[in-house]
Structure 1
Amino acid sequence: MLAVLLLTGCIANGGPTQATSSAPPVSVQEAPASNAPLETTQASTKIPVYWIGRSKEDVYLYREFRDISGDGNPVTTALRIMMADKPLDHDFFTPWQDPGSLATSISGKNVITVDISRDAFNSNLDAGMAQRAVQQLVYTATAAASSSGLINSGQQIQVVILVDGHTDFMAFGQVRLGQPMARDASLVAPLWIIDPQEDTSLPAGAVKFNGRSTDSSKPVSWQILRDNGNGEKASLLTGQTKATGEPGQFGVFSFSATLKPGKYELRVSQVQDSGQADTSTMDTRLFSVG
């Protein structure tokens, strides 16, 4: 499993929380250019939400799709999930707190404005983690708008974050808000598993796995381990696959395996030029087959 970055009370409402581990500093992007592609339109009952997770020494953004009901504003809904709920994958977390107020709007120039109350920032983060938290919001807002068809995914989109209606707030005491921000492509995970989601139960037989990679030129190494019932896992199947798309660009990958009833773990990693799996890019997923 991905090594979990521990937070003390990171989901609790109330006083500030303290991150027990740091993340490398990055520059928060304010320029309009971004090479992190937007999500395409999805089924209306699913909404993309980004979380933070650690892979070896790096800290990345990872995406999950969450079930939603009703016809509320999808951007507001996704951000509320990101701040108030826990991720499905136990390896991920959010440093945000459930805000007392949250509102979003989209201008005709593909700019999303997010206005949140300052209680959403009640966590003590270092600069690197604060920058990732802000980008977590930028990714989630733009993903929800794009996947729900509110904006054209082929166009540039930016996010302006206001706090209680004002600009120049220092997010987590580290990142100045109020200017248009685009996605920072360097912060998204090198690859992640899309299906199955964490703790999903699947029918026995042919199981299809789907994922996403930031670099289609790199093969994807996969391994399926089976839980032997006493807390240990044994490698059952291994293989490699390739992501669709132009070399060096984002792409999706898929493969299938025939599995009997039991509990399993899937591990995927990008393959280095040497032919070895790069474990620093690993994503994992627990699931069961009935």
Structure 2
Amino acid sequence: MSDDPVREMLREVADGVEPGDRLDAIRSATSGGRRTSRGWWATGGVALVAASVVTALALTTGGTPRSEDPDPAEPTPTRTTATNGPRPEQEPRARPVYYLGDTPDGPRLYREFRPLAGDPLQVAVDAAIGRGQDDRSLAPLDPDYWVPWPETTWAGAIVDYDEGVIEISLAASPFAGDPETDLRSRGTLSQAEAELAVEQVIRTAQAAVQERLPVRFLLYNEITDQVLGVPTSEPLAEGSDLEVLAHVSLSDPSDGATVDNDDPFTVKGLGNSYEGNIVTEIQRHEGVVEIVQMEPAIAGTYEDKLFPFEVTFDLTDVPPGDYLVTSRTDDPSGEARFHTDSRRITIVD
């Protein structure tokens, strides 16, 4: 027998052989007896494991979104009933996904807009745990961000409008040691990182459905008392913005963007800073490091939220090359405890 059960099953499919008991083992390892009042459970990455030998159907319920929006206005995702089946987006669209990054105050969450096609909730949650639609690892576009979840993690995501919650059902590869224990404990993560990992999925899911619904976590389709060591017996709401989010987060440009120096260059983001001050710099990223342009902006302060800001640069006299765009908060203490977010860009003629 092969040392790799998944590879062995794929070989059996190619040879026209029924995989038999091992497929049953995968099904039993990734499904449970719990059902919502609508009688369905959507699987994300779990379905991808069995996709080589069976077809998994992911369903999402219908409903009318309220006007609350945890992020800047995004197109309202299409929702369908279980009867009609899902209508995933066929073309990639920018979806907000939260990742961890470092700040002077420890790890915080940063938001990144990812081009993703498919069911808006499912693909966003998949990206948050580091998994692409092809079942491969999916890293953040910005190398300063990172995914805290174990690489073997899969997630199914649905909205239960009867109970008014988002359900995230987690699972792990049945070939990865003791997967349930792996997802119940925080492993090598610090307590702060584990709590942010859970918060990361909550905020990504809420942004996808554009409602601040509480999030119920399940393991193998059953309610669990903890995920990554974080208590999850009851549905969880999002935490305080200023306690879990980096105090500055760029929305545009995306990391690695190409910018024409003949056109105005606009930087957009969210921030909360002393007296609202946010400074954005363009710094040469090759050769002699120097700041070529700088623009201040006023976002907001005091309230437990991030405020939008926007600055526009004239790049006419900036030569082509690689640059780093950085926005930072103010720090009246003089200790340089700035929260920053940056994007790499290439300026062309």
Indicate yes or no: 2:231 matched with 1:176. yes
Structure 1 residue 98: Cα displacement: 4.7
> Pick from 341, 345, 348: which aligns with 1:283?
341
Residues 60-79 of structure 1: pairs in structure 2 closer than 5 A: 60-69=108-117, 72-79=118-125
- Change in Cα spacing, 1:74 to 1:46, as seen in structure 2 (3 Å) is same
Structure 2 distance, partners of 1:145, 1:98, is 25
The alignment's C-alpha RMSD in Å is: 2.6
* Corresponding letter in the other structure for 2:71: E
* Corresponding letter in the other structure for 1:262: G
Indicate yes or no: 2:198 matched with 1:141. no
Secondary structure (helix, strand or coil) at the match of 1:92 reads: coil
> Pick from 255, 258, 263: which aligns with 2:311?
255
- Equivalent in the alignment of 1:56: 104
> Pick from 213, 218, 243: which aligns with 1:157?
213
Structure 2 distance, partners of 1:57, 1:246, is 17
Residues 54 and 60 in structure 1, CA contact (< 8 A), matched pair in contact too? yes
Indicate yes or no: 2:214 matched with 1:214. no
Secondary structure (helix, strand or coil) at the match of 1:220 reads: strand
TM-score (norm. length: structure 1):
0.74
Deviations 1:178-229 (CA, angstroms, capped at 9, x unpaired):
31111112101111111111111111232111110135941111221113x4
Structure 1 residue 279: Cα displacement: 4.0
Deviations 1:138-163 (CA, angstroms, capped at 9, x unpaired):
111111111xxxxxx4xx42101101
- Equivalent in the alignment of 1:270: 329
Residues 269 and 278 in structure 1, CA contact (< 8 A), matched pair in contact too? no
> Pick from 158, 170, 182: which aligns with 1:105?
158
- Change in Cα spacing, 1:90 to 1:247, as seen in structure 2 (3 Å) is same
- Change in Cα spacing, 1:272 to 1:279, as seen in structure 2 (3 Å) is closer
Structure 2 distance, partners of 1:287, 1:165, is 43
Structure 1 residue 100: Cα displacement: 6.2
Structure 2 distance, partners of 1:277, 1:42, is 37
- Equivalent in the alignment of 2:192: 128
Structure 2 distance, partners of 1:224, 1:101, is 38
Residues 95 and 123 in structure 1, CA contact (< 8 A), matched pair in contact too? no
User: Higher strand proportion, which one?
Assistant: 1
Residues 217 and 224 in structure 2, CA contact (< 8 A), matched pair in contact too? no
Structure 1 residue 171: Cα displacement: 2.1
Secondary structure (helix, strand or coil) at the match of 2:168 reads: strand
> Pick from 81, 90, 93: which aligns with 2:127?
81
- Change in Cα spacing, 1:246 to 1:126, as seen in structure 2 (3 Å) is closer
Consecutive unaligned residues of structure 1, counting only runs of 5 or more, are: 1-35, 147-152
Residues 331 and 338 in structure 2, CA contact (< 8 A), matched pair in contact too? no
Structure 1 residue 135: Cα displacement: 0.7
Structure 1 residue 166: Cα displacement: 1.9
Secondary structure (helix, strand or coil) at the match of 2:338 reads: strand
User: Higher helix proportion, which one?
Assistant: 2
Structure 2 distance, partners of 1:234, 1:40, is 33
Secondary structure (helix, strand or coil) at the match of 2:124 reads: helix
TM-score (norm. length: structure 2):
0.62
Secondary structure (helix, strand or coil) at the match of 1:93 reads: coil
- Equivalent in the alignment of 1:233: 289
- Change in Cα spacing, 1:161 to 1:214, as seen in structure 2 (3 Å) is farther
Residues 226 and 233 in structure 2, CA contact (< 8 A), matched pair in contact too? no
Structure 2 distance, partners of 1:40, 1:281, is 20
Structure 1 distance, partners of 2:169, 2:125, is 11
Residues 278 and 327 in structure 2, CA contact (< 8 A), matched pair in contact too? yes
Consecutive unaligned residues of structure 2, counting only runs of 5 or more, are: 1-67, 78-92, 132-137, 173-178
* Corresponding letter in the other structure for 1:162: L
- Equivalent in the alignment of 1:13: none
